[in-house]
């Protein structure tokens, strides 16, 4: 793809891509004879990561070191991004609540103290902080340890993770064939097992989040196809089981 196409796709300007090329953050993997930049699928992948980290407030140079770190596999980036995004969600929620409180206070003729007003973004140093926490944590042994363990996943444990997942899918398919109802206790137990697997290997996945994932299993045909390959009707079955399990816990 040419710069213009990539820019349009990613929602950035051509100048931005030029800039990323110049500073070595994202250099297209090829050029035409005339010197035109040519971006490959892998380049798009990287651009995606760059934009996510940028949105999270990381300075570009740090983004480069993060993405070039050979000890960090893709899954680790996803986990980190997920964590930071959830932090931001929390913060935004707090700010919305603060504005609503202020409105309510106005209507009732109460005026809030300055401390109250500022506390929602006090200390935070808006976006920066998220990146800094990363940096700080990056220096502690504990984090490095856990991070290294995480990175080690894709080397040897990855097989085990995949195996566990496939094993569970197989047991679900068996249950389906045996006529087990997805919203029965047994069906929900299987769904719960799936949720726990995500928690253990990937990220903290509360029932509500899991329910959203469940919906995706029937809405996105590629996920559907993967389950249908194990057993016809399994996508719908799993989706229902997950929802029922979430409702049971909620």
Contacts to DNA from residues 91-150, by CB under 7 A: none
Q: What is the DSSP letter of 24?
A: T
On the 0-12 / 13-18 / 19+ scale of CB atoms within 10 A, 78 is middle
Helix (H, G, I), strand (E, B) or coil at 79: helix
Residue with tokens 């409180």: 101
Q: Is 110 in the site for a second copy (CB under 8 A)?
A: yes
According to the binding rule CB under 8 A, does residue 107 interact with a second copy? yes
Distance from C-alpha of 199 to C-alpha of 202, rounded to nearest angstrom: 6
* Contacts (CB under 7 A) with DNA, residues 38-57: 54
- Select the residue interacting with DNA from 10, 52, 60, 67 (CB under 7 A): 60
Per partner kind, with CB cut-offs from 5 to 8 A, the member of DNA, a second copy, none near residue 185 is none
Residue 16: name its binding partner from a second copy, DNA, none (Cβ under 5 to 8 Å by kind): DNA
Contacts of 9 (CB under 8 A, 6+ apart): 1, 44
**Rounded-to-5 percentages of helix, strand, coil across the chain:** 75, 0, 25
From residue 140, alpha-carbon distances to 58, 82, 134, 135 in Å are 20, 21, 10, 9
180 interacts with, out of a second copy, DNA, none, CB within 5 to 8 A per kind: none
Q: Please, what is the minimum distance in Å from the beta carbon of residue 19 to DNA?
A: 5
Q: Residue 15 touches which of a second copy, DNA, none (CB < 5 to 8 A by kind)?
A: DNA
Binding DNA by CB under 7 A: which of 10, 29, 33, 197? 33
- Which one of DNA, a second copy, none is in contact with 4 (Cβ closer than 5 to 8 A by kind)? DNA
4 binds DNA (CB under 7 A): yes
Which residues of the chain form contacts with DNA (CB under 7 A)? 2-5, 13-16, 18-19, 21, 23, 32-37, 54, 59-61
């Amino acid at each position: 793809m040419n710069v213009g196409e990539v820019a349009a796709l990613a929602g950035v300007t051509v100048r931005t891509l030029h800039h990323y090329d110049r500073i070595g953050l994202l250099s297209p993997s090829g050029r035409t004879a005339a010197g035109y930049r040519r971006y490959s699928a892998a380049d798009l992948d990287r651009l995606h990561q760059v934009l996510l980290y940028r949105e999270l407030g990381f300075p570009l140079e740090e983004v480069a070191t993060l993405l070039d770190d050979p000890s960090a596999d893709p899954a680790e980036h996803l986990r980190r991004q997920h964590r930071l995004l959830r932090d931001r969600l929390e913060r935004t929620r707090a700010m919305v609540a603060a504005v609503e409180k202020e409105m309510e206070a106005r209507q009732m003729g109460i005026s809030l103290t300055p401390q109250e007003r500022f506390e929602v973004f006090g200390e935070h140093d808006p976006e920066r902080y998220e990146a800094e926490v990363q940096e700080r944590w990056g220096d502690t042994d504990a984090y490095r340890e856990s991070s290294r363990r995480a990175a080690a996943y894709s080397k040897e444990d990855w097989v085990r993770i995949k195996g566990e997942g496939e094993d569970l899918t197989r047991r679900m398919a068996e249950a389906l064939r045996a006529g087990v109802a997805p919203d029965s206790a047994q069906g929900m137990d299987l769904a719960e097992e799936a949720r726990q697997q995500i928690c253990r290997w990937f990220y903290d996945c509360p029932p509500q989040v899991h329910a959203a994932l469940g919906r995706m299993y029937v809405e996105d045909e590629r996920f559907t196809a993967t389950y249908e390959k194990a057993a016809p009707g399994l996508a719908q079955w799993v989706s229902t089981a997950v929802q029922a399990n979430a409702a049971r816990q909620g």
